[in-house]
Amino acid sequence: MITTQDLTKRYGKVEAVREVSLDVREGDRYGLLGPNGSGKSTLVRMLLGLVYATSGSISVLGEAVPRHVGRVLPQIGALIEEPAAYPHLSGRANLRLLDAAGPSTPHGSRRTRRRRVDDALEQVGLAGIDRRPVRAYSLGMRQRLGLAAALVRRPRLLILDEPTNGLDPRGIRDIRDLLISLNASGVTVFLSSHLLPEVSALCTRVGVLDSGALVLQEQLASLQAPTGRVLVSTDDPERAVAALDGLVEHRDGADLVVRFPDAAALNARLVAAGVPVRSLLVQRRSLEEIVLNVTGSGSDQFGAPATPDASTP
Amino acid sequence: MIAVELLKLSRRARTWFSVALMCALPLVVAIFIAVTHLAPPPGQGSAFLSAVLDDGQLYPAAALALVLPVFLPVAVAVVAGDSIAGEASAGTLRYLLARPVGRTRLLVAKLVAVITFTLIAVIAVTVTSYATGVLILGPSRAAAVGAPPGGLSGSITPGGGGAPTAGLQPGAAITSLSGTPLTTLHLAERVLGAMSFITVSMLGVAAIAIFLSTLTDSALGAALGALATLVGSEILVTLNAASTVQPYLPTRYWLAWIDFFRQPIFWRNIERGFGIQAVYVLVFLGAAWANFATRDITT
Amino acid sequence: MLASALPASVPGLTAAQLEGRVLGSQRLAFSGYAESEAAFGLPPLPAFSSVTPLLDGVTRMRVWQAAPDRWRVDTLSDAGEDDTYQAGANTFAWDSGQQLLTAIFGPQAIRLPRAADLMPAALAVRIISEAGPDAKTRLLPPRRVAGQSAAGLEITPAAPQSTIARADIWASPTSGLPLLVEVFDRGATQPALETRFLQAGPWTPDPGVLTPQRGPGTGFTTTTPNDFAGVLKNLDDELLPGSLAGFARQPSPAPRIGVYGSGLSAFAVLTFTRETGCHLLRTALDAGAAPLAYPDGTGAVASAPLVNLVLVHPRRSPDTFLLIGLVSRAALEQAAAVLAAQPDQDLGH
């Protein structure tokens, strides 16, 4: 769906994006992670033909960008940094204007256009909005309106820059559910975020930008594959250590980190040794660790032992 | 896209506020003149203003002369300066372009919207000032009212030679600047001509403001830049020492709309006025296009 | 602008042939648009308020001519226009500021200069005829004027006391219609007066254009020829000497005015009542004219390119004389001194 080859953008001497080769596949929920200022927005703008690359190539939906961006954009819904709207108009009027502003072909009748706008508003939970102008909207409502604007054309690909900005937890959850259901119906989702939990909760594939360079791009599932360690909590750690005979890598009171690939077999062994197992947890690396590892200064050791307290599935 | 731009323009309070302001100025002037019966002396003050006490039907021409130097160009510069810069600073520009709206199409739509705005303003001023003229200043008065003491009214007796035909002609509604009678139809044609010329005269300002609007994200900056160009041009137009550059100044032929009210119409400066505005539109819209089409949209 | 950069080519003509064609162009029918530019800086004297604007800055003129005595010249301004119609012997003047049409029935033997006099065709013909047969002429390189190739003629008047050093005329080589006239003051490299057609052609004007018509609300008045200077004192011809400073008096074209000299070296003497004269003198001095003192009177002198002007106020006379003309300042001051020193002969008036 989106591929870039050695994409570079220089502003004067500053390299905002450096030799990025993205690979977003059809059906992905792709999360582009990176701290603020890492080049996410510049990258998103290049994908949409708003910013011209210094070097490298972009292909979106099989078409070269920016050359054929006019063919690509009608199939894309985009949220580019903050949402923006004409503040003196209502949300619905804004959507109608934006819908009418596009290429002239898929306009449809007045009624289908109206329905399209109503559907988009409903999808983001703004179905009941009144005639108030956008300037009276809360930050969350504006964000929802921005999403509705991205959805109004029923795109094949969503490119969303920080989609849950300004939303309350409930709103974040709504949007996440919406994106997952859209994805299930065949829409590829590409989002950028600096919020790790959001990406880890939503995405199937992750890229990490650090100072303009793509330092990691992988399926989330393979990143979070079991580390070969099991976290064991027991009332009798002494007996457990004895029973496991050197497999315990770390002990912290009643909690043990055991190097053992199969949790079920480990459990059987502990039970057989008469160890009272309170809980047993297959250790996976958190996204935070992964990101910190690839972006932290000089730490590119992927095999580093995980700290137990950060482990959550 | 043009329809969208027109819709946006029509739904901004500023649009109607500035049109209302432009209509209000001639109204205020008319009220003062009607109350005090003090029109500026002939040859002074704004064009046609001295004549309107005699004939309120001429007031549209006087009203256009009132709004042309400042109100209209300021309003046009503000609207045109806002065209791209306003969208950029509001953040809506990136959404329009990602919709996608072609950058060239957007520029053209913006120019069309500015022209439409100018036309609406000019029409509104003309219509309201005609009403003002007829209702407040009154329709044409009797022939000799405006004549100075000792003036005779009536036919000129030919004293031999070229036998001038003169005298009041039936159906004549108004007097041209050349002293000859014009019918209401003729007057309407000429007012229409003046209106279109004034609208076209604003094209240069609009193109400059749109060009500046693609350079900056500040709508105010673009409008002020265009106005600064105009003020500079108006100063140079009156400066004899600058006569070599005068034919190329955007305001050089602004007053040529007055030539519609001469008999016969004096086309030379009107044609040049149209020509110079066409050049400004081509050059500055071309520059705006060259800049805008290759620019990174970072707002 | 671009057209003026095109090369100009004219058929071979001698200076005399060209001069003849220019003089012959008076009979042409033509229309056009002309602009004259002058920087005389004359003091704005009340009696000449219609003249001083013509001699300062740009005058824009629309011209239609069907015959030498049937034409119309409009002087355009941004607020209106002043039009002159010539219909045979009669003249009609329209002033859009006053909304007044003035008819002058009968020929005007003498009158104030008007815009039509600055029109290139009229000015060129006048200069050539006034310069007289003694004037030296030579050809100038051709130029493009009003989008046409124009042949150039330089005229140097013979009279040494004339303020006019020379005049350059460019005219259509075929029709002889003068398109550009430049008049040079003595010692000047830039013309003091330049008048040119920006658009001109042998288009016969529509008769309707040449006929004055009155619109509603306009005024109409008639005036007799020479009425322009109502402020002039009724002067007996014998009051003025037969010659002044070496210039012979011409047969008077009109009462109250004396004309001395001939051709391009001539001046006029006008007489004003004391009241008007004092006002004139004050205005002239306020406008920067230099004060003059004679043993027998006071006065003021103003010098402009091409034109000199002296006001003199003899001590023993109730009159004020205004001397104005195309002669050197020294000659004019000399003539004024003679007038100031005249024995008191005006008591009868």
B179:C80 CB<8 A: no
CATH 3.30.56 matches C230-340: no
- Range among A14-28, A228-242, C104-118 with highest mean pLDDT value: A14-28
pLDDT, residue C78, reads 83
Q: Tell me: pLDDT of A310 over 80.
A: no
Topology match between the domains C3-223 and C230-340: no
Go through chain C and tell me how many residues it has.
Answer: 349
pLDDT, residue C5, reads 62
Task: Say whether residue A255 is in contact with chain B using an 8 A CB cutoff.
Answer: no
Q: Which residues contact C315 (CB under 8 A, 6 or more apart)?
A: C296, C297, C298, C340
The CATH architecture assigned to A225-310 reads 2-Layer Sandwich (3.30)
C-alpha distances out from residue A118 to A121, A171, A173, B53, C230, Å? 5, 19, 21, 58, 86
Chain B nearest-CA residue for A146 = B95
Q: What is the CATH number of domain C3-223?
A: 2.50.20.10
C220:B151 CB<8 A: yes
Interface test with B, best of A17, A43, A50, A131 (most B CBs within 10 A): A50
> Which residues in C lie closer than 8 A to residue B177 (C-beta atoms)?
80-81, 96
For chains C and A, having 3+ Cβ pairs within 8 Å is answered: no
SS3 content of chain C, % helix, strand, coil (to 5): 20, 40, 35
Residues A22-38 have a mean pLDDT of 91
Q: Which two tokens stand for residue A296?
A: 């932290």
For C287-342, write each residue's pLDDT tens digit: 888 888 888 888 888 888 888 889 888 887 778 888 988 898 889 988 988 888 87
Residue-range domain boundaries for chain C: 3-223, 230-340
d(Cα C264, Cα C260) in Å, to the nearest integer?
A: 11
Q: State the count of interchain CB pairs (< 8 A) between A and B.
A: 73
pLDDT, residue C46, reads 65
> Which residues in A lie closer than 8 A to residue B99 (C-beta atoms)?
73, 98, 101-103
Residues of chain B short of pLDDT 70, as ranges, are 42-47, 139-173
Whole-model pTM: value is 0.84
Complex ipTM above 0.85?
Answer: no
pLDDT, residue B140, reads 58
d(Cα B163, Cα A304) in Å, to the nearest integer?
A: 114
Could you say which of C57, C69, C216 has the minimum Cβ distance to residue B172?
C216
Task: Say whether residue A215 is in contact with chain B using an 8 A CB cutoff.
Answer: no
pLDDT, residue B171, reads 55
The CATH architecture assigned to A2-222 reads 3-Layer(aba) Sandwich (3.40)
A149:B13 CB<8 A: no
Q: Which residues contact B103 (CB under 8 A, 6 or more apart)?
A: B97, B289, B292, B293
pLDDT, residue C8, reads 75
Least reliable range by pLDDT among A167-176, A288-297, B238-247, B290-299:
A288-297
Q: Tell me: pLDDT of C115 over 60.
A: yes
Query: In terms of pLDDT, which residue wins out, B196 or A265?
Result: B196
Topology match between the domains A2-222 and A225-310: no
User: Comparing C-alpha atoms, which of C139, C105, C100 is closest to residue C14?
Assistant: C139
pLDDT, residue B142, reads 39
Nearest CA distance, B80 vs chain C (angstrom): 28
CA angle A170, A99, A88 (to 5 degrees): 70
d(Cα B281, Cα B206) in Å, to the nearest integer?
A: 8
pLDDT, residue C256, reads 67
Nearest CA distance, A71 vs chain B (angstrom): 9
* Tokens 């080519």 sit on residue: C9
d(Cα A297, Cα B74) in Å, to the nearest integer?
A: 56
d(Cα A295, Cα B10) in Å, to the nearest integer?
A: 51
> Which residues in B lie closer than 8 A to residue A45 (C-beta atoms)?
94, 296-298
> Which residues in B lie closer than 8 A to residue A103 (C-beta atoms)?
99-100
The chain-wide mean pLDDT, for chain A, equals: 85
Residues 15-54 of A with CB under 8 A from B: 45, 48-52
Residue-range domain boundaries for chain A: 2-222, 225-310
End-to-end CA distance of chain B: 21
With beta carbons less than 8 A apart as the criterion, state whether A149 and A95 touch: yes
d(Cα B293, Cα B139) in Å, to the nearest integer?
A: 53
Nearest CA distance, C280 vs chain B (angstrom): 24
With beta carbons less than 8 A apart as the criterion, state whether C223 and C205 touch: no
Determine the 3-state secondary structure of B1 from DSSP. coil
> Which residues in B lie closer than 8 A to residue C86 (C-beta atoms)?
162
Interface test with B, best of A10, A46, A68, A97 (most B CBs within 10 A): A97
Q: Which two tokens stand for residue A61?
A: 């939906």
Q: Could you tell me the maximum CA-CA distance found in chain B, to the nearest angstrom? A: 79
B172:C199 CB<8 A: no
For C9-28, write each residue's pLDDT tens digit: 778 889 999 999 999 998 99
B296:A48 CB<8 A: no
C-alpha distances out from residue C193 to B122, C183, C184, Å? 41, 5, 7
Task: Say whether residue C69 is in contact with chain B using an 8 A CB cutoff.
Answer: yes
For C224-275, write each residue's pLDDT tens digit: 765 555 556 555 555 778 888 888 888 866 666 788 988 888 898 888 877 8
Neighbouring chains to B with at least 3 Cβ pairs closer than 8 Å: A, C
> Which residues in B lie closer than 8 A to residue A80 (C-beta atoms)?
94-95, 98
For C149-184, write each residue's pLDDT tens digit: 999 999 999 888 889 999 999 999 999 999 999 999
d(Cα C86, Cα C72) in Å, to the nearest integer?
A: 6
pLDDT, residue B42, reads 62
> Which residues in A lie closer than 8 A to residue B8 (C-beta atoms)?
86, 97
B146:C99 CB<8 A: yes
Could you say which of A70, A86, A88 has the minimum Cβ distance to residue B100?
A70
Q: State the count of interchain CB pairs (< 8 A) between B and C.
A: 164
> Which residues in B lie closer than 8 A to residue C209 (C-beta atoms)?
264
* Tokens 């034919």 sit on residue: B247
pLDDT, residue A151, reads 92
pLDDT category of residue C98 using cuts at 50, 70 and 90:
confident
pLDDT, residue B163, reads 36
The helix/strand count (H/E) of chain B reads as: 9, 2
B172:C215 CB<8 A: yes
